[in-house]
A and B are shown apart, each in its own frame.
Chain A
C-alpha cells in the first residue's frame, strides 16, 4: 500500500524568507510524486511533479521540489515566500507498480506567509 506523510499541520514563514513544506512517501514500486495547492473553497491546483530524471523539479509560481530516493522524501521549496503563497498544500503519490491512476494524498500543510 502507498502512503504519504506531511509531518507539519502548519508552517509559518516571513515574507521574503525561504520556505519548505515537508513530504515523505512510501510505495512498493517506483513513485510518481505531485504537489498541489488549494486556496479556500477552491479545487486543487497542480504545482509540479516528479516522474523520472532530474531529482530537482521546478514548477509553477517559483516552487520547486527535490526527490530524494534514499530518504523517500519530496519536500516543496521556494527561495522567497510571498503573502499570496498562503494556502493549503498537498503532497500526493502514485505507485507505478500498482497499475492504477489513483493518487494517495497527504493530510495537507497549511502555509501562512506573514507580511
Chain B
C-alpha cells in the first residue's frame, strides 16, 4: 500500500519550453501533496504544498508563475515548469499524505529534468 507514482521518470527539453510532471497516489486518497526539488548530493528542498481543490502554498523564493501546481483530484497533482531554463534542471520529487492516516509522507520515485 501507499504507493506514489511520478511521470515521466526523466525528461529532456529545450530551453523555453514547458514541462508537466504528474504525481499520483495509486492506492490511497491524498489530501495533501508536496513538491520537492533535490540538487546533487543535497537534501530535499520543499517547493510547495498542494491541497486538493485549493491553491498551492509556495515556499519563500519559489516562483509560483514559473512552477505551476494543480491538484485537481484526491489522487493527482501536477507540476508544470514553464519556460524552462537550464538552471531548472534538477530532480523533482513529490510526496503525498494519506487522508486516512495523515502521519506519513510517501514519496514518488522522482523526475529527472534536463533543460538544454
A49-B104, A107-B43 given as contacts; is B49 within 8 A of A102 (CB)?
yes
Q: Count of chain A residues with Cβ under 8 Å from any Cβ of B?
A: 19
Interface size on B, residues (CB 8 A): 24
Q: Which residues of B contact A103 (CB under 8 A)?
A: 46, 105
CB–CB A42/B49 < 8 A: no
- Of the listed residues B6, B32, B105, B108, the one surrounded by the most CB atoms of chain A closer than 10 A to its CB is B105
Does B102 lie within 8 Å of A101, measured CB to CB? yes
Near B by CB (< 8 A), chain A positions 21-69 give 32, 34, 36, 41-46, 49, 51
Cross-chain pair count, CB within 8 angstroms: 49
Report whether A43 and B110 are in contact in the complex, using a CB–CB cutoff of 8 Å. Answer: yes
B67 at the interface (CB under 8 A from A): no
Assess A102 versus B103: contact at CB under 8 Å? Given A41-B110, A42-B109, A43-B110.
Answer: no
Q: Which residues of A contact B (CB under 8 A)?
A: 32, 34, 36, 41-46, 49, 51, 90, 101-103, 105-108
B residues near A (Cβ < 8 Å) are 2, 4, 6, 32, 34, 42-44, 46, 49, 91, 93, 95, 97, 102-110, 112
User: What would 11 more interface pairs be, CB under 8 Å, given A46-B107, A102-B49?
Assistant: A34-B104, A42-B109, A44-B44, A44-B93, A49-B104, A90-B43, A90-B44, A101-B97, A103-B105, A106-B43, A107-B42
